[in-house]
Amino acid sequence: MNLDKIIEENTRLARQMELDQLIPFVYHIQQAKRIFITAAGRSGFAMQSAAMRLMHLGLTVYYVGDTISPAIEAGDLLIAASGSGSTGSIVRAAEKSKAVGAEVVAITTNAGSLLAKLASHVVLVPAAEKEDHSAKISTQYAGSLFEQFLLLLNDAVFQSLWKLSGQAAETLWKRHANLE
């Protein structure tokens, strides 16, 4: 069954992850004045979910490209996800962020990418890039494993931040959208 294969691939990827790289990721989030999040395509959908969860914690979070996103500044954090690490708009956002003194956390499959080189910290996800059609790492189409894992990874980071915050679920719930 395809669902079994998808779950199997995500489980294998989770076991391959160097989880100690999440500690600096959590620290960067905790230290940031404001958090900006960016990604493109399906990775962007996963990262929008991450932005929502960080907002539930009471953090000031913006998704890059939304009309209400202000200018990034020193003391802020950009969390940028790109499987290849070479997506033009994501790399440009990282360059601009570094130029003003903001920190950058990159989530990518490519440790040698321009995005990774610009980052203050890299979370390396050993998933296939979207143009890897070899099926050696994933039998799924066009980077699906990376995109799925972004959601899981960011939810794990959220769970850690939530535990560290000591906030009750009821406190977070008060920040949940109520105009649905």
Tens of pLDDT along 78-88? 999 999 999 99
**Could you give the CA distance from residue 11 to residue 84 in angstroms, rounded to a whole number?**
21
Residue 132: the pLDDT is 63
Active-site choice (103, 131, 147, 180): 147
- Asked whether residue 170 carries a pLDDT value surpassing 90, the answer given is yes
Confidence of residue 33 (pLDDT cuts 50, 70, 90): very high
173 within domain boundaries? no
Confidence of residue 171 (pLDDT cuts 50, 70, 90): very high
- Number of domains comprising the chain: 1
Calculate the dihedral angle through the C-alpha atoms of 60, 105, 11, 8, rounding to the nearest 10 degrees. Answer: 100
Q: What is the mean pLDDT of residues 47-61?
A: 98
23 within domain boundaries? yes
**Could you give the CA distance from residue 51 to residue 65 in angstroms, rounded to a whole number?**
13
Q: List the strands of the sheet with 77-81, edge to edge.
A: 61-63, 35-38, 77-81, 103-108, 121-124
Residue 77 is part of which domain span? 2-167
Catalytic annotation present for 180: no
Q: How far apart are the first and last CA of the chain?
A: 34
Residue 55: the pLDDT is 98
- Residue carrying the six token digits 């769970």: 159
Q: What burial letters (b/e) apply to 83-119, b meaning 16+ CB within 10 Å? A: bbbebeebbebbeebbeeebbbbbbbbbeebbbbebb
**pLDDT 10s digits, 121-164:** 999 999 876 666 666 677 777 788 999 999 999 999 999 999 99
Residues in the chain: 180
175 within domain boundaries? no
69 within domain boundaries? yes
177 within domain boundaries? no
Answer with the residue of higher pLDDT: 121 or 180.
121
* CATH code: domain of residue 102: 3.40.50.10490
128 within domain boundaries? yes
141 within domain boundaries? yes
Q: Which amino acid is at 119?
A: A
132 within domain boundaries? yes
